[in-house]
Amino acid sequence: MDRNSHINYILQLADNALVLGHRNSEWTGHGPILEQDIALSNIALDLIGQARYLYQYAAKLAAGEVTEDTLAYGRDAWDFRNCLLVEQTNGDWGKTILRQFLFSAWQYFFYEQLQQSRDSELAAIAEKAYKEVVYHLRWSSEWVIRLGDGTTESHQRMEKALELLWKFTGEFFVPAGYEKEGIGIAVDPAVIRPLWEDKVNEVLAEAGLRANPETWMQTGGKEGRHTEELGYLLAEMQFLQRAYPGCEW
Amino acid sequence: MVINNDMSIRRIWSLIEQVNDPEVPVLSVVDLGIIRDVRAAEGEIEITLTPTYSGCPAMDVIRMNIRMVLLEHGYNNITLTTVLSPAWTTDWMSEQGKEKLKAYGIAPPLPVQQFCRPDLFGQEEAIGCPHCHSYHTTRISEFGSTACKALYRCEDCKEPFDYFKCH
């Protein structure tokens, strides 16, 4: 894996965690009940913490003036490598929960595999993050079941959320150019796919939900082609560092 | 100055022990089990530590406070190294730390066991109330005021309490 691909690969993982962490943090102070507001804020914190380790590692490889902050706050949408799913807007609680579940199920199997990476720094980050994702996956799975198998309204909302989000899940398993080179370092998406599908189908079935197998899958995020949602997210998240570069408090 | 001997290492450990977790001030960072190694050679001190949770905001403060206490005692050549693997676990918390937590009103972590698994709607851990010691308790939320805690309620004395969850 050449250095650029290696950095892009790490950035993809970092951007996934940061963007979803930021989305979840938008719920802080707005959750439906206090305990769940705290839960989602905790998950946001875990994800942003994971993103920091990954950005610090990418910055070390990139060397020069690059820091974790310039990577998080100084790049524009086309340089972000996150998958499209994580940048989608929060919508209602059901959509937020389903987005978290679909992503946590991927991250759970992904980090499990990444612990075997030849890149010992990535393996160590994966080992740490995996333990946190166990909580995220359990919490979001239980909520998907609770809402899907809940009232008529909660079920309808989950169906709607599934329709909105399912088309962004195929991207997990379509390797970007820089991923294909990473044998021994990167995780082969083909290994994750059946594990993810089994887990997701099991939980959806218990929730009384079914994804449309004919759904056309949208891709592009990992290569920097994003939905318009990401631009708005970055505009808010990066505002301070754009207006006052290097500002600290 | 060569200080690579047992006595100076012991002294450095005892200084670090004065640094508390800012979010659970009753616990020292040594009780918490996040200090993994202390080395001293040629007047240079290297301390290896590991975070509890990736996003724990206390880590930056802890690093700064370790540096401060060592500087106050004349050690000025300090390197703090963060390691992620092996990942921190509540099994590394000292018995003394668990006693301190309980006295402070936080239920200490149970040994890591089947409850740290992804199974859904699993059986809740039987957590003793740190106030009245009853096991007749209910989990309110598995995420609490900080990443390392869950929220419980005692059904006997009716007090809510934090549980330092197994990890």
Q: Domains in chain A, ordered, with CATH?
A: 3-243 (1.20.1260.10)
B1 — pLDDT class (breaks 50, 70, 90) = very low
**Is the pLDDT higher at B125 or at A128?**
A128
> Of the candidates B88, B122, B149, which is a domain's last residue?
B88
* Residue B64 CB contacts under 8 Å (≥ 6 apart), including other chains: none
Same domain, B80 and B11: yes
**DSSP structure string for A151-177:** -HHHHHHHHHHHHHHGGGSGGGGS--H
With bands split at pLDDT 50, 70 and 90, how would you rate the model's confidence at B111?
confident
Question: Is residue B1 one of the residues assigned to a domain?
Answer: no
Is pLDDT above 60 for A60? yes
Question: Do B101 and B53 lie in a common domain?
Answer: no
B30 assigned to some structural domain: yes
- Inside any domain, residue B50: yes
Rounded to whole angstroms, the Cα distance separating A39 from B113 reads 22
CB A163 within 8 A of CB A209: no
Q: Which of A170-174, B9-13, B41-45, B113-117 has the highest mean predicted lDDT (pLDDT)?
A: A170-174
Q: Concatenated DSSP letters for A51-108?
A: HHHHHHHHHHHH-TT--HHHHHHS--GGG----HHHHS---SHHHHHHHHHHHHHHHH
Tokens 């943090």 correspond to what residue? Answer: A25
Q: Which of B58, B88, B118 is the last residue of a domain?
A: B88
Is the predicted pLDDT of residue B2 greater than 50, yes or no? no
Yes or no, beta carbons of B142 and A49 under 8 Å apart:
no
Band of pLDDT at residue B116, cut at 50, 70 and 90 = low
- Average pLDDT (A155-169) is 98
Binned at pLDDT 50, 70 and 90, residue B6 comes out as: confident
d(CA B37, CA B66): 13
Tokens coding B22: 């800012």
The verdict on A45 touching B (C-beta cutoff 8 Å) is yes
Q: Are residues B115 and B141 in the same domain?
A: yes
Cα gap A117→B136, rounded to integer Å: 45
Question: Does residue B55 share a domain with residue B120?
Answer: no
Last residue of a domain, one of B67, B88, B109: B88
| Residues of chain A numbered 19-38 and touching chain B (CB < 8 Å) | 21, 35-36, 38
- Find the domain containing B49 and state its range: 6-88
B60 is written with which tokens? Answer: 């930056």
Task: Tell me the pLDDT of chain B averaged across its residues.
Answer: 88
Which band of pLDDT confidence, cut at 50, 70 and 90, is reported for residue B146? confident
**Three-state secondary structure call for residue B27:** strand
Residue A121: pLDDT band (50, 70, 90) is very high
Which of these, B88, B81, B15, lies nearest to B48 by C-alpha position? B81
Instruction: Report how far residue B5's alpha carbon sits from residue A98's, in angstroms, rounded to the nearest whole number.
Output: 56
Q: Does one domain contain both B97 and B133?
A: yes
Give, in order, the Cα–Cα distances in Å from A63 to each of A7, A54, A74, A104, A249: 11, 14, 15, 31, 25
A125 interfaces chain B, CB cutoff of 8 Å: yes
**Predicted confidence (pLDDT) per residue in A74-90, tens digit:** 999 999 999 999 999 99
Residue B114 has pLDDT above 60, yes or no: no
DSSP states of B93-148: S-HHHHHHHHHHTEEPPPPS-GGGS--TTPPPP----TTT--S-EEEEESS-SSTT
A53 neighbourhood in chain B, CB within 8 Å: 54, 84
Question: Do both B37 and B49 map to the same domain?
Answer: yes
> Residue A142: its chain B contacts at CB < 8 A?
120-121
Contact A19, A83 (CB under 8 A): no
Nearest to B84 among A35, A127, A142 (CB): A127
Provide CB contacts within 8 A for A52, sequence distance 6+. A68, B54, B55
- Searching chain A, which residue's CA lies closest to the CA of residue B83? A124
| Number of domains forming the structure of chain B | 2
